[in-house]
Amino acid sequence: MKTETSKRLFDEALKCIPGGVNSPVRAMKGVGMSHPLFMSRARGAHIWDADGNELVDFVSSWGPMILGWGHPEVVGRLRAQIDLGTSFGAPTELEVELARLICDAVPSVELVRMVNSGTEATMSALRVARGFTRRDKVVKFVGCYHGHADPFLAAAGSGVLTLALPDSPGVTRATTADTILVEYNDAAALGEVFAARGAEIACVIVEPVAGNMGVVPPQPGFLEAVRRLCSDSGALLIFDEVITGFRVAWGGAQELYGVIPDMTTLGKIIGGGLPVGAFGGRADIMETVAPLGTTYQAGTLSGNPLAMAAGSATLRVLAEPGVYERLEARAQQVCQGLVAAAVGAGVPTTLNRVGAMMTLFFCEGPVTGFADAGRADTALYGRYWRHMLEHGVYLAPSQFESAMISLALTDADVALATDAAASFFEVL
């Protein structure tokens, strides 16, 4: 495939943007590319790059485009709002509409505050948890990624894992001194931490389905154990559902697994493709946030009317009967094709999936945590990624990210992806 235009744009970007990209994984170094693809347009489940290459998309803008691109309900709401105003820095009815949809859908959320990104949501939730409990320590799990706020850049996943970076320069020891690390899915180790330091722990933050070391589901009883330990010690449980919210179920992973946290962070899908984030939880916790309480959080562009309009339109479509059953069926279809291709060729792979998010690990299973994910053959994944690209399929450019299924995928799209995977495994 031709990529001359993307290469030229990347050369220009290097002159004015660090590394030529505005988010590290986009550089595509994790899959052995010398330059990233620059995208120009999309429709349904197809995306076109700057050179005109048409690709079936399994990234979905890293999750938000669950309906696919150009959905008439979303586009219609956006067009109408552009004429009315794109930003006010003041309350709008759209904020109330989206907040009500979230509170009605997500079991843990009684009050919700809109922000502009997932990082901002998790950073704010942590501050609120510390203010509410009057404690300092936060427990996070190795390989889980909660945005790039300083306290979370300790044993993080996502781009940090993809690029094999150490904990980031610029993050002081004092900042991470209050971050306690535990292996994901290791309830016994978490129990030991609480036995030793439970009175100091403000909160445990966890991706209920890890999505930033590849998809790693919670083992049976793990989330229940985390909930119990938090309740017994007075610590708050925060579910980072920036990825899983409205993707694995209407009410997120907390609905799917029946474990209710004290606070929840959201992003991606609730903006319908526009930058957005939110944090919410029990009313008594959220009432400590200014202006009701003394824990300060603010954002000039929070509740942006375009993001609120697109998010509300997206959630209203997702609330229609049968939507999640259709999404589950499509995800099963995709996974069956990929697994059959790998198994038929005798290539060691493990496919983890929860709802409409999945990862094909190039290693023998099971993959239940950070160390297991680290066994994956990233070089082989890079070969696979480049092969799929040449055959018209756009996957996440990292072994340690999730493929995102959209409702816009067709049988023909799935067949193309399955055939491309089969042709790769046949020649190994």
Active site residue ranges: 145, 240, 268
Cβ 301 vs Cβ 325: under 8 Å:
no
Cα 168 → chain centroid: 20
What is the end-to-end Cα distance of the chain in Å, rounded?
A: 21
The tokens for 255 are 């609905």
φ/ψ of 264, rounded to 5, equals: -140, 140
Three-state DSSP class for residue 214: coil
Least Cα distance to 116 among 319, 315, 306 occurs for: 306
**Sheet containing 137-142, strands listed edge to edge, beginning at the edge strand earlier in sequence:** 111-115, 277-281, 263-267, 236-240, 201-206, 137-142, 179-183
Instruction: Return d(Cα 288, Cα 423) in angstroms, integer.
Output: 57
For the stretch 92-123, what's the b/e string if a residue is b when 16 or more beta carbons lie within 10 angstroms of its beta carbon?
A: bebbebbbebbeebbebbebbbbbbbbbbbbb
Q: What share of the chain is helix, strand, coil (3-state, %, to 5)?
A: 45, 15, 40
Contacts 24+ apart (CB under 8 A), 340-344: 340/418, 340/422, 341/418, 341/421, 341/422, 341/424, 341/425, 342/421, 342/425, 344/422, 344/425
Sequence letter at residue 311: G
Q: DSSP per residue over 215-244, as a string?
A: -BPPPTTHHHHHHHHHHHHT-EEEEE-TTT
- Identify how many contiguous H helices and E strands the chain contains and give both numbers: 15, 14
Can you list the alpha helix ranges (DSSP code H) found in 57-146? 72-84, 93-105, 118-133
Cβ 219 vs Cβ 254: under 8 Å:
no
The tokens for 157 are 């996943």
E strand or H helix that includes residue 390: helix 378-390
**Sheet containing 39-43, strands listed edge to edge, beginning at the edge strand earlier in sequence:** 39-43, 46-49, 54-57, 393-394
